[in-house]
Amino acid sequence: MSENLIQASQGTPWCAWQHSARLARARWLRPEQLCPPGRRLVLVAPHPDDEVLMAGGLLAGFAGREQDLLLISATDGESSHPGSAHWTEHRLRRQRPLESRHALQQLELDLNRLDWRRLHLKDGALPRDEAFLTNHLNQLLKPDDLLLTTWRGDGHCDHEAAGRACAQAAQARRAQLAEVPVWAWHWARPDDPRLPWARALRIQLDENHLARKRQALACHASQVQADDQRPPVLPSRLQACLLQPFELMFL
Ligand SMILES: [Zn+2]
């Protein structure tokens, strides 16, 4: 599915997902069961904001244990507003990483203690750099790591490339892989058979971590606010799906 198609449709609202039997069957897991203290989380975000959309609540739990976290930002997200007079690529390339920075601070992560690597790959062209990303991860990963990224079937070329690269690297390095749907919440139907429900689980977020995730998402102003006559890049329906008291993952 192309990004244009994704954004053209209205999207599946949370109230429809609430009736999903398959979502209801996804088992619950507490964050510390997935990633207990001492276990490293390596998070690969295709674009600045994906770290919050995928796992902002889980990340909030790393406040005070930043040594267990490695954050990799693949692109600077400069292609989110094609043709916009205000949000030019030049402006976005500076703005979006700053938004990420503020968002991580809202999650109360100490950026001085956080290993955060920005790869500056080209937004919208991650499939071209997939082998590079796989190699890069092969050098960083350790066998006990949890490697988290966007789902291989998410419907956005960069999200899918990140998913494939991480899957390869996780297999090579014997790390555990967690794939997170982002745009799938928008285009998929509740109980959609294209989603790998057998691997689905829900990471439980407490109120405090969910509130921090909400604040962190608001920092991504270029994505959540309208641009002149255009609606926000992240539709409000999609935001609502991603601000529930759990984070859905495929393990
Ligand atoms: Zn993205």
| 251 domain-assigned | no
Res 3: pLDDT: 56
- In angstroms, what is the span from residue 72 Cα to ligand 1's centroid? 13
Q: Is pLDDT at 6 greater than 70 in this prediction?
A: no
- In angstroms, what is the span from residue 90 Cα to ligand 1's centroid? 18
Res 231: pLDDT: 93
- In angstroms, what is the span from residue 123 Cα to ligand 1's centroid? 9
* CATH number for 204: 3.40.50
Q: What are phi and psi of 107, to 5 degrees?
A: -80, 5
Quick check: 35 and 55 in contact, CB under 8 A?
no
- In angstroms, what is the span from residue 7 Cα to ligand 1's centroid? 12
Q: Is pLDDT at 219 greater than 60 in this prediction?
A: yes
- In angstroms, what is the span from residue 192 Cα to ligand 1's centroid? 21
Side-chain half-sphere CA neighbours of 213 within 13 A:
29
Q: Summarize pLDDT for 25-54 with one digit per residue, the tens.
A: 999 999 999 999 999 999 999 999 999 999
Q: What is the mean pLDDT of the chain?
A: 96
- In angstroms, what is the span from residue 21 Cα to ligand 1's centroid? 27
Q: Summarize pLDDT for 100-114 with one digit per residue, the tens.
A: 999 999 999 999 999
Quick check: 92 and 137 in contact, CB under 8 A?
no
Quick check: 175 and 5 in contact, CB under 8 A?
no
Q: Summarize pLDDT for 164-210 with one digit per residue, the tens.
A: 999 999 999 999 999 999 999 999 999 999 999 999 999 999 999 99
Res 1: pLDDT: 47
- In angstroms, what is the span from residue 50 Cα to ligand 1's centroid? 5
**What amino acid is encoded at 58 in this protein?**
L
Note if the pTM is more than 0.85: yes
- In angstroms, what is the span from residue 158 Cα to ligand 1's centroid? 7
| 122 domain-assigned | yes
How many domains is the chain partitioned into structurally?
1
Domain containing residue 118:
3-244
Comparing CA positions, the residue from 106, 60, 101, 50 lying closest to residue 245 is: 60
| 249 domain-assigned | no
- In angstroms, what is the span from residue 132 Cα to ligand 1's centroid? 19
CA distance 149 to 22: 22
| 72 domain-assigned | yes
176-206 burial by CB neighbour count: b if 16+ within 10 A, else e?
Answer: ebbbbbbbbbbbbebeeeebebeebbbbbbe
Q: Summarize pLDDT for 66-123 with one digit per residue, the tens.
A: 999 999 999 999 999 999 999 999 999 999 999 999 999 999 999 999 999 999 999 9
Q: Is pLDDT at 4 greater than 60 in this prediction?
A: no
Quick check: 167 and 51 in contact, CB under 8 A?
no
